[in-house]
Chain A
């Protein structure tokens, strides 16, 4: 498995501001993802964080709104920019290790007022 930490665990932000979420893994991993989970909903993939190149975004998500950094194989950040109340959600990072097993971070609960 993999030990994954995220910071912050939760935050309350004002609309129009930005928040950067950090994801740290205890081992080097190739595949790292960012998901959003609305209350009572399933997981929606935002993007794949690629080390050394631009992230790959899913339909409906753009780099200007959700810039992602992946400076090395153990760390990534997701920024939620120019936030609105609709961005209130739980944001989770995940990694895929040997055998395609995917493990999730503890999540960041974001509330935008």
Chain B
């Protein structure tokens, strides 16, 4: 089955700096890669996703890149703000959406 690895497990950045979280996957059949943000005590929220026919996607301060050959994808947050502090999970899935494999999570702290 699919195996998704996520690094780092914790990340602290100064407000205004950039944060990068990286994930790798093992199954070449995976073609949909969402990212979720989970604030303390809240549900995971989909913040951005990318499909295998696209190399990069951007939405304001967040962007995701995908390297299919290397089987890795990354989340980039620019101009970080304290409200970006949360746990971020990457995941891998296929077109059918019948199985999602999650990374282990990255706890991001943005220091004011």
Contact = CB atoms under 8 A, between A and B. Distances in A.
Nearest to A59: B1
Contacts of A43: 44, 89, 102
Interface residues of A, number: 17
B43 A102 contact: no
A44 B42 CA distance: 16
Contacts of B18: none
B55 to A, nearest CB: 18
B24 interface: no
A102 B104 contact: no
What is the size category of the interface that chain B forms with chain A? 20 to 34
Contact of A42 (B43, B46, B97, B103): B103
Contacts of B98: 31, 48, 96
Given A42-B89, A43-B89, A104 B100 contact: no
B30 to A, nearest CB: 11
Contacts of B46: 101-103
B7 to A, nearest CB: 13
Nearest to A105: B43
Interface string B33-51: 0100000001111100100
A91 to B, nearest CB: 11
Interface in A48-80: 48
Nearest to B96: A100
A31 B97 contact: yes
A110 interface: no
11 contacts: A42-B102, A42-B103, A42-B104, A45-B99, A45-B100, A96-B98, A100-B97, A101-B34, A101-B49, A102-B97, A106-B42
Interface of B: 32, 34, 42-46, 49, 89, 91, 93, 95, 97-100, 102-105
3 smallest beta-carbon distances between A and B, as pairs: A100-B97, A96-B97, A104-B43
